[in-house]
Structure 1
Amino acid sequence: MIYPIVAYGDPVLKQRAKEITPNQLDLKKLVDDMFETMYAASGVGLAAPQIGKSIRVFVVDAEAMDEDNLKGFKKAFINPQILEETGEKWAYEEGCLSIPKIREDVFRQPRVKLRYFDTDWKEYVEEFDGMAARVIQHEYDHLEGVLFTDYLSPFKRQLIKNKLGNISKGKIDVEYRMRFPAVAKAGRR
């Protein structure tokens, strides 16, 4: 099932997501649906809040970024916890399915150590670096209620303020289904 992507401005994107427990939901079905939704939107990562579910789950498949350390980098992360971020921060232009057509440089550390579970509830502690670490940090931020635009300077945020407002109102053309918070509110009146 392909979910609509929740657009900038929806409160679910600013909430800290809740951990899940085994048997709380059909986790394998949810993860399959999240991958399907991500692929339909041509994304490389998708967090559960982006489909309106405030739970600590995200998926990544960054092989399309065509970098050596991303070959076969397709995973689901359940209840992830960043244990450590190391290295000198570096800039890279990031985008987000919930904030279409806006890309800005974000500084992140190049290495991350993460504890997480897979869909069979097997626990892992792994280290990732380079673009894999960046993709994980971006999606992990979604679980913390943080968007990449939160890293921008006040000046940069001011420059994109109108674009962000238009996204929340649905005044943007995208090639995937989205759920716009301002449009939903207008429909309830």
Structure 2
Amino acid sequence: MILPIILYGSKILRSKTHDIDAEDDFTELAANMALTLQKEQGCGLAGPQVAVLKNIFVIDTTSVNNDETAPVVKMYLNPEILEYSTEEYYYNEGCLSIPGIFENVIRPDKIAVRYRNENFDIREETLDGLVARIFQHEYDHLQGILFIDRLSSLRKRIIKSKLKQIARSSM
């Protein structure tokens, strides 16, 4: 089932999430989130973006994949970032909850992460490049942080009227 995307202006996007328990029915939720992500042709979708205040997000790099790496399609439950690299880079980010706005955001290039997979097993791995960036963007959603929060005050002022339009349309 395709889920409605929560737009900028909703208090849900500023809320912190809670851990998923093994008893939670996260399989159906993750499948619905993946379908929604595919329909919207995005590369990441977090619980708060579909009005679920749980620590879950899905990543699908199929729509942005280049020929150099295989696409990543994955569900992350109760994710954590354990370590950030010191090397950072800018990348033009967008967000399904903030349609039509794309801005350069600086983030670490490499991160060490821990999460639970679809079997609720704990996994640890090191992510880099685009997958690390998407993970950080979606992880921010679980903390109530949006990519626009990482912009300079000047860039925020420049996009302020667009943000107000999105917020008005979400009511």
Fold conserved between structures, TM > 0.5 = yes
Contact 1:69 1:132 in 2 (8 A): no
Q: How does 1:142-181 map to 2 (within 5 A)?
A: 142-170=141-169, 180=170
2:126 corresponds to: 127
Identity level (%): 39
Pairwise CA distance, 1:68: 4.8
| Alignment size in residue pairs | 171
Cα distance in 1 for partners of 2:68, 2:112 equals: 16
Q: How does 1:1-189 map to 2 (within 5 A)?
A: 1-24=1-24, 26-68=25-67, 70-170=69-169, 180=170, 183=171
With the length of structure 2 as denominator, give the TM-score of the two structures.
0.96
Instruction: From the superposition, tell whether residues 78 and 5 of structure 1 become closer, same or farther in structure 2 (CA, over 3 Å).
Output: same
Contact 2:65 2:71 in 1 (8 A): no
Contact 2:87 2:110 in 1 (8 A): no
- RMSD over aligned Cα, in angstroms? 1.1
For residues 86-110 of structure 1, give each alpha carbon's deviation from its aligned partner in whole angstroms, at most 9, with x where no partner exists: 0321101100000000000000000
Q: Which runs of 5+ in 1 are unaligned?
A: 171-179, 184-189
With the length of structure 1 as denominator, give the TM-score of the two structures.
0.87
Contact 1:70 1:132 in 2 (8 A): no
Cα distance in 2 for partners of 1:47, 1:5 equals: 10
Contact 1:45 1:59 in 2 (8 A): yes
Contact 2:58 2:76 in 1 (8 A): yes
Q: Which runs of 5+ in 2 are unaligned?
A: none
Runs of 4+ in 1 over 6 A off after TM superposition: none
Instruction: From the superposition, tell whether residues 70 and 18 of structure 1 become closer, same or farther in structure 2 (CA, over 3 Å).
Output: farther
Contact 2:116 2:123 in 1 (8 A): yes
One-letter code of the match for 1:21? D
1:175 corresponds to: none
Cα distance in 2 for partners of 1:119, 1:70 equals: 23
Cα distance in 2 for partners of 1:69, 1:43 equals: 19
